[in-house]
Each structure stands twice: as C-alpha cells, then as structure tokens.
Amino acid sequence: MAPVIQKKKSVASKDDIQKDFMEAINLSISSYKSQVRNNKKLRLIDIFATMLVVIGVFQTAFVGLIQDNYPFNAFLAGFIICVGQFVLLMCLRLQLTHPFEGISKSKAFGEFVVASLILHFTCLHFIN
C-alpha cells in the first residue's frame, strides 16, 4: 500500500510526464524486487507464469505460421490450459502476498491444486 501513496505524491511534484513515468516504473520494479528478493515462492510462481505466457505465444505463432486453425478445439485446449493455469497462479500469488481474511495460505494452496486438476481434466477432455 505504501508505494502507491508515494507514487501519487511524485505525480503531484513532477511536471515532466516522461520523467514521472520512468520514476513510476523504476519504483514498481524496485518494489517488485524487494517483494521477490527474499521470497523464493513468489519467484517460483513468477517464472512459471512467464513460461505459460511464452508457451501461449508460441501456440498462437504456430497458428499464424500455418495459416489454419484446423483442429480448433485442440488449439483452444492448448491455449486455455496456459491462460487458466496463469490465472490460477496469479490467484495463488495474490493470496500469498495479501491473504484473504479467514482463508489460510495452505487452504489457498489446496484450492489451487484442486482447481488446477479440474482445469487439466477439462483441457485433456476438450482436445479429444
């Protein structure tokens, strides 16, 4: 919460938009770095999420390359598993950094695992 307030202040004090923007980016990067520096679990999640994005991009690139989406259900299954897994990871990450009230982290993790399993089954079913 604290970095956000700081950012607002800097908007008020600086005129140059670009400078302001750079500062904001630097700030977010540094706050992100500080968040991740000592938390290996977040690092684990972020790298996994990045990989999912890369796989999704590769699949889309493949469709673009062959100019045909013929087994469209297969493409959707492949793409949806990436997107779905990404979303679930983000949910988990959110609950790790800012846990919801009354839901412990281990419960959040259990839910993540069950949801992921359902997602995998759905995608395997859908790809035929």
Partner 1 sequence: MKFLKSVTLLTTAISCASAFIIKDAKLTFQDETREAMELGELDEAYRSTELAPFQIKDTEEVIGFKFKLDLSKSKSKEIPEQLSLLVGIPGKNLEVPIVPKVKDSSKNNKIKLVSFKVDLSTLPKSILHYALSQGPETNEITATLIIANEKKNLARKEVNLKFPAFHLEFTNLTKKLYQDDFEMPLRYGKKEELAHTFPPAPKTADPTISLLFAGIVLMVNMFLYMYWINFDAISFVNMPSGKDFLPFLGFIGSIIGCELIFASYYLGTGIFETINCLAIVAPVGLILGTKFLRNFTQRI
Partner 2 sequence: MLGLRYIQCFLLLLCSIIVNVHAKSAIGSRTLIVFDDRVDDLSNYSNFFNLLKDHEFDITTLELSDKSTKINLFEKDTRLYDNLILFPVKGKLYSKQLAAKKLIHFNEDGGNILALTIPKVSSDPIHLYLNQLGIYPSPRTQSLKDLFQDSNNNNLQFTAKESIENKIIYSNENAEDSIYNFGDSVSAALLDNREQIIPLLKASRTSFTSGNKTREINWTDGTQGYLIAGFQNLVNARSLWLGSVQFLSNEHFKQNLDLINDLIQWNFQEKNIIKVTNVNHYHTESNLSYDELPYKVTDNITYTISLSQWDGSKWIPFITDDLQFELRQVDPYYRITMKPQGVSPIDPQAELYSTGDFKLPNRHGMFTFLTNYQRSGLSFIHQSDVKAIRHLANDEYPRSFEIPNAWVYLASIATVIISFIAFVLFFIATPASVSEGVTTAKKTN
Tokens (6 digits) for 85: 């897994």
Q: Is 44 in the site for partner 1 (CB under 8 A)?
A: yes
User: Is residue 5 a contact residue for partner 2 (CB under 8 A)?
Assistant: no
Please compute, for residue 53, the number of CA atoms within 13 A of its CA located in the half-sphere on the CB side: 9
List all residues 6 or more positions away from 5 whose beta carbon is below 8 Å from its beta carbon. Answer: none
Q: Are 2 and 28 in contact (CB under 8 A)?
A: no
| x/- letters, 51..80, toward partner 2 (CB under 8 A) | xx--x--xx--x---x-x-xx-xxx-xxx-
Residues that bind partner 1 in the complex, under the rule CB under 8 A: 40, 43-44, 47-48, 50-51, 54-55, 58-59, 62, 65-68, 70, 104-107, 109-110, 113, 117, 120-121, 124-125, 127
